[in-house]
Amino acid sequence: MKRLTALIYFLGFIALTPMTQAAETTPPEQFYNDPEGIHSDPNYVPGEYALPEIHAAKTVYQAKSDELAQKQGLLDRSTLVTLAAGQVTFSAQKNETAQVLGYFRDFFGVLSLEGGVPARMEMVIDINSLDTAVPGRNNRIMDLFFQSAKPELGTAAVVFDRFDLGEKKFSEFKEGESYPVTVGGRLTLNQTERELTAKLSVMKHGSGWSVKTTEPLWILISDFGFSERVPAFLKACNHKALGNRVEVNVDLLLK
């Protein structure tokens, strides 16, 4: 009888184990604040938040931008670079339904061409240039979420090295007409690298090109190692919840 009981227990454990593992690997849709972390006053609004010194991190971003420029050789006609007219924007969800919009003011990218065909796109983004139009919120996001004052965490990097232009060639694109291009590569954020695919619309403007996302890039907070920082961030912001998915769009001018 004891052996039969032990066998039943063992088989039950084996049957339940895969279900438990699957549950642990499923990313959450929302991160929720501990009720004790929410201010008792329903009208409470977090005020200003002091940002740590970010000079060292900004210096690292500038050095990476300079390195990218020098490596690609900007005097070579086979390269195109981003101009200030572009933008990198994002939309995050708080309290289950509210949207927080923002963008990164500073970034630098280079597109390398081989035989008139795009071969590699590299971009670095200054996390400390984040702007949501609310200074206190900007500082909380940078300090508690990104921890971007740390030199090693103040810069994000994107590399696209796979380009699908369909039946067209880059050199055949006509002035003022937009063409669909699917690109693939990698995003490095918070010292974590993940595969990235983007659907773009590309249009020729004289000697330059405009590049826009036709579908949002969806990035999971949990994929880039931010989950452990969320509780302190939610408490400081006095938010009930934070969505795991962040929508990112780009609208760039390369020349």
pLDDT at 5 over 80: no
> Is there a domain that residue 5 lies in?
no
Domain that includes residue 128, residue range? 30-254
pLDDT at 19 over 60: no
In angstroms, rounded to a whole number, what is the distance separating the alpha carbons of residues 93 and 186?
A: 24
142-157 burial, b at 16+ Cβ within 10 Å, e below that, comes to: bbbbbbbbebebbbbe
> Is there a domain that residue 21 lies in?
no
Q: What is the pLDDT of residue 10?
A: 42
CATH at residue 211: 2.40.128.110
DSSP element (H, E) containing 12: helix 2-25
15 — pLDDT class (breaks 50, 70, 90):
very low
In angstroms, rounded to a whole number, what is the distance separating the alpha carbons of residues 163 and 88?
A: 20
> Is there a domain that residue 233 lies in?
yes
> Is there a domain that residue 13 lies in?
no
pLDDT at 250 over 70: yes
> Is there a domain that residue 12 lies in?
no
pTM of the model as a whole: 0.86
> Is there a contact between 66 and 155 (Cβ–Cβ < 8 Å)?
no
Summarize pLDDT for 103-157 with one digit per residue, the tens: 999 999 988 877 767 788 999 999 999 999 999 999 999 999 999 999 999 999 9
Q: What is the pLDDT of residue 77?
A: 53
Q: What is the pLDDT of residue 56?
A: 97
> Is there a domain that residue 15 lies in?
no
> Is there a domain that residue 150 lies in?
yes
pLDDT at 14 over 70: no
> Is there a contact between 161 and 185 (Cβ–Cβ < 8 Å)?
yes
> Is there a domain that residue 24 lies in?
no
Q: How many domains does the chain have?
A: 1
In angstroms, rounded to a whole number, what is the distance separating the alpha carbons of residues 215 and 113?
A: 24
Mean pLDDT, residues 194-222 = 91
245 — pLDDT class (breaks 50, 70, 90):
very high
Summarize pLDDT for 61-94 with one digit per residue, the tens: 999 998 888 876 554 556 778 876 789 999 999 9
> Is there a contact between 79 and 120 (Cβ–Cβ < 8 Å)?
no
- With 0-12 CB in 10 A as exposed, 13-18 as middle and 19+ as buried, what is 188? middle
The pair of three-digit structure tokens given for residue 90, joined into one six-digit string: 């994002």
